[in-house]
């Protein structure tokens, strides 16, 4: 049974990147576990299955590191049986100079239309729990 509730969406993990924080992925994994635990309680799940998380390209998250951190963070938690499935979400920005909405692969990229740097990131810079399977 898949659950997508507003409850989950309300708890999406918005994250900027702290380059000095080598525990970035662990902090994110703990955040995801917390969301999954609260959602499982809310939905009455006794066993959590697949947890789908969309990772923005601009969130600077290393999927392998996040999986490793998640495996460590879920141990002993109500989400111990959870399987983390990561999906990537393209970065998106809006250019003030040429008013284009563009896809961004790196936060330092120039606008592909006008080569300018007046870009404002509008998407793909966060992690979001999409849905949680459980029973």
What is the contact surface with Zn ion in residues (CB under 5 A)? 95, 97-98, 111, 113-114, 116
Q: Report the C-alpha gap between 53 and 69 in whole angstroms.
A: 14
- CB-wise, 2 or 116, nearer to Zn ion? 116
- Is the Cβ–Cβ distance between 32 and 63 less than 8 Å? no
Tell the smallest beta-carbon distance from residue 111 to Zn ion (Å). Answer: 3
Tell the smallest beta-carbon distance from residue 42 to Zn ion (Å). Answer: 43
Tell the smallest beta-carbon distance from residue 43 to Zn ion (Å). Answer: 44
Q: Is 82 exposed, middle or buried (0-12, 13-18, 19+ CB in 10 A)?
A: buried
- CB-wise, 35 or 111, nearer to Zn ion? 111
- CB-wise, 47 or 96, nearer to Zn ion? 96
- CB-wise, 61 or 102, nearer to Zn ion? 102
Tell the smallest beta-carbon distance from residue 94 to Zn ion (Å). Answer: 9
Place of tokens 């969301």: 35
Q: Report the C-alpha gap between 43 and 39 in whole angstroms.
A: 6
CB atoms within 10 A of CB 107: 16
């Amino acid at each position: 049974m898949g659950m997508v509730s507003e409850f989950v969406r309300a708890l999406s993990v918005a994250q900027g990147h702290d380059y000095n924080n080598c525990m970035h992925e662990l902090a994110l994994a703990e955040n995801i576990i917390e969301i999954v635990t609260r959602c499982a309680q809310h939905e009455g799940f006794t066993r959590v299955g697949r947890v789908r998380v969309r990772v923005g390209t601009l969130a600077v998250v290393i999927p392998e590191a996040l999986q490793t951190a998640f495996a460590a963070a879920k141990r002993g938690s109500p989400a111990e049986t959870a399987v983390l499935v990561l999906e990537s979400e393209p970065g998106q920005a809006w250019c003030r100079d040429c008013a284009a909405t563009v896809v961004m692969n790196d936060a330092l990229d120039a606008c592909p239309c006008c080569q300018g740097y007046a870009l404002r990131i509008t998407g793909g810079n966060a992690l979001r729990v999409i849905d949680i399977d459980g029973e």
